[in-house]
Amino acid sequence: MAEPSTSAGVSLTVIFVALLGPMAGPYALIAFAALAGAMWPLSASTTATRLAGAWLLLRCTSMAIVLTAFLASGIERVWAIPANEALAPVALIIGALGNGWRPVFEAIGIAIKTLVGRAASGGRQ
């Protein structure tokens, strides 16, 4: 009598995880942290349909996936925190920002204007 579940599939899964796990680990970490962060804007928004909610979740998650590596490497250069340790918190925060990027860009713009104003005045207030 044949086994009710085959061990071949389980064996192949174990082999692939053992071989590819160290390479896929950071990518899976970023994806799951970004998805967890994207749940916050989804829970706070009022979407008309499930498709609109899925679109919001996909947008927030994909933005976090794209931006995480750049910001984590910047954090590593500025504050000497290893990039591989900053991946999950950075992805979570970017995903949690959701559609709230406008205030972030406005704050960056104000900071740049202040720096340019100080540089133009020669450092005097």
Is residue 11, in this structure, part of any structural domain at all? no
Is residue 43, in this structure, part of any structural domain at all? yes
More confident residue, 110 or 18: 110
pTM of the model: 0.70
Is residue 95, in this structure, part of any structural domain at all? yes
Q: Is residue 5 predicted with pLDDT exceeding 60?
A: no
Domain count, the chain: 1
Is residue 35, in this structure, part of any structural domain at all? yes
Can you tell me the distance from the alpha carbon of 13 to that of 66, in angstroms, rounded to the nearest whole number?
28
Is residue 42, in this structure, part of any structural domain at all? yes
Among residues of the chain, what percentage have pLDDT more than 70?
A: 85
Place of tokens 């970017």: 94
Is residue 122, in this structure, part of any structural domain at all? no
**Helix axis angle, 7-44 to 83-97, nearest 10°:** 50
Average pLDDT over every residue of 51-55: 91
Is residue 105, in this structure, part of any structural domain at all? no
Cα–Cα distances in Å, from 71 out to 17, 44, 58, 87, 94?
A: 28, 25, 20, 9, 10
Q: Tell me the residue range of the domain where 51 lies.
A: 25-99
**Secondary structure tally for the chain: helices H, strands E:** 4, 0
Is residue 59, in this structure, part of any structural domain at all? yes
